[in-house]
Chains A and B, each alone.
Chain A
Amino acid sequence: EAEVAQSPRYKITEKSQAVAFWCDPISGHATLYWYRQILGQGPELLVQFQDESVVDDSQLPKDRFSAERLKGVDSTLKIQPAELGDSAMYLCASSRSLDNEQFFGPGTRLTVL
Protein backbone atom coordinates (compact mmCIF):
# COMPACT_ATOMS: atom_id res chain seq x y z
CA GLU A 1 0.00 0.00 0.00
CA ALA A 2 1.39 3.40 -1.00
CA GLU A 3 2.38 5.70 1.83
CA VAL A 4 3.61 9.23 2.34
CA ALA A 5 7.34 9.20 3.09
CA GLN A 6 9.11 11.71 5.30
CA SER A 7 12.71 12.15 6.34
CA PRO A 8 14.37 12.45 8.67
CA ARG A 9 12.11 10.90 11.31
CA TYR A 10 13.94 12.72 14.10
CA LYS A 11 16.04 15.86 14.08
CA ILE A 12 17.86 17.58 16.92
CA THR A 13 19.36 20.98 16.27
CA GLU A 14 20.54 24.02 18.11
CA LYS A 15 18.71 27.30 17.91
CA SER A 16 19.77 29.59 15.09
CA GLN A 17 20.71 26.62 12.92
CA ALA A 18 18.97 25.76 9.66
CA VAL A 19 16.91 22.58 9.28
CA ALA A 20 15.13 20.98 6.36
CA PHE A 21 12.48 18.30 6.13
CA TRP A 22 11.59 16.26 3.08
CA CYS A 23 8.27 14.74 2.01
CA ASP A 24 7.44 12.38 -0.82
CA PRO A 25 3.67 12.12 -1.32
CA ILE A 26 1.77 9.15 -2.64
CA SER A 27 2.32 8.85 -6.38
CA GLY A 28 -0.28 10.76 -8.34
CA HIS A 29 -1.37 12.94 -5.45
CA ALA A 30 -1.56 16.53 -6.65
CA THR A 31 -2.22 18.16 -3.29
CA LEU A 32 0.41 18.27 -0.56
CA TYR A 33 0.15 19.68 2.96
CA TRP A 34 2.63 20.52 5.70
CA TYR A 35 1.27 20.57 9.26
CA ARG A 36 2.94 21.41 12.57
CA GLN A 37 1.84 19.51 15.65
CA ILE A 38 3.01 20.96 18.97
CA LEU A 39 3.01 18.48 21.84
CA GLY A 40 -0.46 18.20 23.35
CA GLN A 41 -2.18 19.93 20.44
CA GLY A 42 -3.72 18.99 17.15
CA PRO A 43 -1.97 19.54 13.84
CA GLU A 44 -2.07 23.03 12.35
CA LEU A 45 -1.74 23.63 8.63
CA LEU A 46 1.38 25.53 7.64
CA VAL A 47 1.22 25.35 3.85
CA GLN A 48 -0.77 23.64 1.12
CA PHE A 49 0.36 22.98 -2.46
CA GLN A 50 -1.68 22.13 -5.52
CA ASP A 51 0.91 20.66 -7.87
CA GLU A 52 3.80 23.14 -7.63
CA SER A 53 1.67 26.14 -6.62
CA VAL A 54 1.03 27.35 -3.10
CA VAL A 55 -2.71 27.35 -2.32
CA ASP A 56 -2.57 28.44 1.32
CA ASP A 57 0.42 29.61 3.35
CA SER A 58 -1.44 31.98 5.64
CA GLN A 59 -0.15 30.26 8.80
CA LEU A 60 3.45 29.86 7.62
CA PRO A 61 5.89 32.12 9.55
CA LYS A 62 7.47 33.44 6.40
CA ASP A 63 10.31 35.26 8.14
CA ARG A 64 11.92 31.92 8.97
CA PHE A 65 9.97 29.17 7.22
CA SER A 66 9.97 28.34 3.53
CA ALA A 67 8.45 25.53 1.53
CA GLU A 68 8.83 24.43 -2.03
CA ARG A 69 7.52 21.77 -4.38
CA LEU A 70 9.44 22.58 -7.50
CA LYS A 71 8.32 19.76 -9.78
CA GLY A 72 4.97 19.22 -8.17
CA VAL A 73 6.03 15.93 -6.61
CA ASP A 74 8.19 15.90 -3.48
CA SER A 75 8.49 18.87 -1.16
CA THR A 76 10.94 20.46 1.26
CA LEU A 77 10.12 22.52 4.33
CA LYS A 78 12.96 24.66 5.69
CA ILE A 79 13.41 26.60 8.90
CA GLN A 80 16.17 29.17 9.17
CA PRO A 81 17.03 30.07 11.85
CA ALA A 82 15.39 27.53 14.15
CA GLU A 83 13.99 28.79 17.46
CA LEU A 84 13.18 26.91 20.66
CA GLY A 85 9.47 27.29 19.97
CA ASP A 86 9.81 25.39 16.70
CA SER A 87 10.17 22.10 18.58
CA ALA A 88 7.25 20.03 17.30
CA MET A 89 6.20 17.20 15.01
CA TYR A 90 6.08 18.23 11.36
CA LEU A 91 3.56 16.20 9.40
CA CYS A 92 3.23 15.92 5.66
CA ALA A 93 0.00 14.77 4.02
CA SER A 94 -1.15 14.30 0.47
CA SER A 95 -4.42 13.84 -1.36
CA ARG A 96 -5.37 12.98 -4.91
CA SER A 97 -6.83 16.43 -5.34
CA LEU A 98 -8.74 19.02 -3.39
CA ASP A 99 -11.71 17.60 -1.48
CA ASN A 100 -10.20 14.13 -1.25
CA GLU A 101 -9.04 12.17 1.77
CA GLN A 102 -5.69 13.30 3.16
CA PHE A 103 -3.08 10.61 3.82
CA PHE A 104 -0.48 11.44 6.44
CA GLY A 105 3.19 10.54 6.69
CA PRO A 106 4.88 9.42 9.92
CA GLY A 107 6.19 12.92 10.64
CA THR A 108 9.53 14.46 11.56
CA ARG A 109 10.02 15.19 15.24
CA LEU A 110 12.13 18.31 15.64
CA THR A 111 13.85 19.23 18.89
CA VAL A 112 15.53 22.62 19.10
CA LEU A 113 18.05 23.00 21.93
Chain B
Amino acid sequence: AQTVTQSQPEMSVQEAETVTLSCTYDTSESDYYLFWYKQPPSRQMILVIRQEAYKQQNATENRFSVNFQKAAKSFSLKISDSQLGDAAMYFCAYRSVSSGDKLTFGTGTRLAVRP
Protein backbone atom coordinates (compact mmCIF):
# COMPACT_ATOMS: atom_id res chain seq x y z
CA ALA B 1 0.00 0.00 0.00
CA GLN B 2 1.10 3.51 -0.68
CA THR B 3 1.96 5.78 2.23
CA VAL B 4 2.63 9.50 2.38
CA THR B 5 4.69 11.01 5.19
CA GLN B 6 4.90 14.65 6.20
CA SER B 7 7.43 14.93 9.01
CA GLN B 8 6.84 18.59 9.84
CA PRO B 9 3.61 19.03 11.84
CA GLU B 10 4.14 22.80 12.00
CA MET B 11 6.24 25.36 10.17
CA SER B 12 6.58 29.10 10.45
CA VAL B 13 7.85 31.67 7.94
CA GLN B 14 8.31 35.41 7.92
CA GLU B 15 6.20 37.29 5.42
CA ALA B 16 8.05 37.71 2.08
CA GLU B 17 10.49 34.91 2.93
CA THR B 18 10.72 31.41 1.45
CA VAL B 19 9.68 28.18 3.13
CA THR B 20 9.95 24.55 2.10
CA LEU B 21 7.53 21.84 3.22
CA SER B 22 8.71 18.25 3.08
CA CYS B 23 6.94 15.13 1.88
CA THR B 24 8.10 11.59 1.28
CA TYR B 25 6.12 8.69 -0.06
CA ASP B 26 6.40 4.98 -0.49
CA THR B 27 5.24 3.13 -3.57
CA SER B 28 6.28 0.26 -5.78
CA GLU B 29 4.63 1.79 -8.82
CA SER B 30 6.40 3.77 -11.52
CA ASP B 31 3.50 5.82 -12.81
CA TYR B 32 1.61 8.09 -10.43
CA TYR B 33 0.71 11.67 -9.57
CA LEU B 34 1.67 13.80 -6.61
CA PHE B 35 -0.20 16.80 -5.28
CA TRP B 36 -0.02 19.55 -2.73
CA TYR B 37 -3.34 20.73 -1.32
CA LYS B 38 -3.97 23.79 0.83
CA GLN B 39 -6.68 23.81 3.51
CA PRO B 40 -7.22 27.30 5.00
CA PRO B 41 -8.99 27.56 8.36
CA SER B 42 -12.72 26.87 7.97
CA ARG B 43 -12.44 26.86 4.18
CA GLN B 44 -12.35 24.19 1.54
CA MET B 45 -9.28 22.37 0.44
CA ILE B 46 -7.84 23.57 -2.85
CA LEU B 47 -5.23 22.15 -5.19
CA VAL B 48 -1.95 24.07 -5.13
CA ILE B 49 0.21 22.12 -7.52
CA ARG B 50 0.40 18.78 -9.30
CA GLN B 51 3.31 16.67 -10.56
CA GLU B 52 3.21 13.73 -12.94
CA ALA B 53 5.84 11.13 -12.02
CA TYR B 54 6.90 10.58 -15.63
CA LYS B 55 7.86 14.24 -15.99
CA GLN B 56 11.36 15.09 -14.88
CA GLN B 57 10.71 18.82 -14.89
CA ASN B 58 9.55 20.19 -11.57
CA ALA B 59 6.09 21.78 -11.61
CA THR B 60 5.67 25.47 -10.81
CA GLU B 61 2.61 27.64 -10.20
CA ASN B 62 3.49 31.28 -9.63
CA ARG B 63 5.09 31.45 -6.16
CA PHE B 64 4.74 27.70 -5.60
CA SER B 65 7.21 25.15 -6.91
CA VAL B 66 8.14 21.57 -6.13
CA ASN B 67 11.35 19.62 -5.87
CA PHE B 68 10.48 16.15 -7.13
CA GLN B 69 13.13 13.51 -6.51
CA LYS B 70 11.69 10.28 -7.88
CA ALA B 71 14.53 7.99 -6.84
CA ALA B 72 14.44 9.33 -3.30
CA LYS B 73 10.62 9.37 -3.30
CA SER B 74 10.64 12.94 -2.12
CA PHE B 75 8.26 15.73 -3.09
CA SER B 76 8.80 19.04 -1.32
CA LEU B 77 6.86 22.27 -1.79
CA LYS B 78 8.62 25.62 -1.89
CA ILE B 79 6.63 28.78 -1.27
CA SER B 80 8.44 31.95 -2.30
CA ASP B 81 7.59 35.49 -1.18
CA SER B 82 5.27 34.12 1.52
CA GLN B 83 2.05 36.03 2.09
CA LEU B 84 -0.32 36.14 5.06
CA GLY B 85 -2.90 34.32 2.94
CA ASP B 86 -0.58 31.35 2.63
CA ALA B 87 -1.26 30.42 6.27
CA ALA B 88 -3.05 27.08 6.17
CA MET B 89 -2.70 23.32 6.50
CA TYR B 90 -0.81 21.85 3.58
CA PHE B 91 -1.35 18.23 2.59
CA CYS B 92 0.81 16.15 0.31
CA ALA B 93 -1.14 13.51 -1.62
CA TYR B 94 -0.44 10.57 -3.92
CA ARG B 95 -2.56 9.06 -6.62
CA SER B 96 -1.81 5.88 -8.51
CA VAL B 97 -2.46 5.72 -12.23
CA SER B 98 -3.31 2.03 -12.15
CA SER B 99 -5.71 1.92 -9.21
CA GLY B 100 -8.26 4.57 -10.04
CA ASP B 101 -8.07 8.12 -8.75
CA LYS B 102 -8.08 7.52 -5.01
CA LEU B 103 -5.98 10.12 -3.22
CA THR B 104 -3.75 9.05 -0.32
CA PHE B 105 -2.95 12.00 1.92
CA GLY B 106 -0.20 12.73 4.41
CA THR B 107 -0.95 14.04 7.90
CA GLY B 108 -0.40 17.66 6.93
CA THR B 109 1.86 20.57 7.85
CA ARG B 110 0.41 23.65 9.50
CA LEU B 111 2.07 26.76 8.08
CA ALA B 112 2.04 30.01 10.02
CA VAL B 113 3.09 33.27 8.36
CA ARG B 114 4.51 35.97 10.64
CA PRO B 115 3.83 39.60 9.61
Contacts and interface: CB of A to CB of B under 8 A. Distances in A.
Interface of A: 3-4, 31, 40-45, 48, 55-56, 91, 93, 95, 98-102, 104-107
A99 B91 contact: no
Interface string B2-28: 001000000000000000000000000
A30 to B, nearest CB: 12
Report whether over half of chain A's contact residues are helix, strand or loop; otherwise say mixed. Answer: loop
Contacts of A93: 45
A48 B46 CA distance: 19
A33 to B, nearest CB: 8
B103 interface: yes
Contacts, number: 48
B79 interface: no
Contacts of B4: 42
A93 B42 CA distance: 16
